């Protein structure tokens, strides 16, 4: 079945569709921005890239069930995803894929504790 026909059938009714406040989102695999549109659809398009958070790093998979977990850091993971996007898997969504990888890896970083500020002034130094 063609991608256009598939999109016409699923665009208004599918199990992944989320309609809230007049905006439509989609939770399907392969949809990098979670927008309900033909360009970002993981179901309607033949070649998709799915980026999900893994226990340590990012899990990148394609529609052909090739799954790889990237754990080497932000720069190397971004380079791998950019190369995959350019190599025939939705080069038009390269920026969205890089943004998703960056956001996932940034959310996995441990939060640093803020240093305690030293007390200043005359009253702070009194005992």
- Specify the domain boundaries for CATH 3.30.390.110 within the chain: 1-46
At 119 the pLDDT is 81
Is 6 within 8 Å of 13 (Cβ atoms)? no
At 127 the pLDDT is 64
- 1-46 adopts what CATH topology? Enolase-like; domain 1 (3.30.390)
At 90 the pLDDT is 85
pLDDT digits over 77-123, tens only? 999 999 988 887 888 999 999 999 999 999 999 989 999 888 888 78
- Using alpha carbons, select from 51, 56, 66 the residue that is nearest to residue 101: 51
pLDDT digits over 31-79, tens only? 999 999 999 999 999 888 999 999 989 999 988 878 999 999 899 999 9
């Amino acid at each position: 079945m063609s991608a256009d026909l598939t999109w016409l059938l699923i665009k208004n009714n599918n199990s992944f569709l989320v309609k809230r406040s007049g905006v439509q989102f989609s939770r399907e695999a392969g949809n990098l921005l979670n927008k309900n549109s033909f360009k970002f659809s993981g179901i309607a398009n033949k070649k998709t890239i799915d980026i999900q958070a893994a226990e340590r790093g990012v899990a990148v998979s394609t529609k052909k069930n090739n799954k790889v977990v990237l754990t080497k850091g932000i720069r190397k993971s971004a380079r791998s995803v950019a190369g995959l996007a350019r190599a025939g898997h939705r080069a038009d969504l390269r920026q969205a894929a890089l943004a998703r990888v960056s956001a996932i890896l940034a959310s996995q970083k441990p939060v640093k504790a803020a240093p305690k500020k030293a007390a200043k002034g005359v009253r702070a130094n009194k005992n």
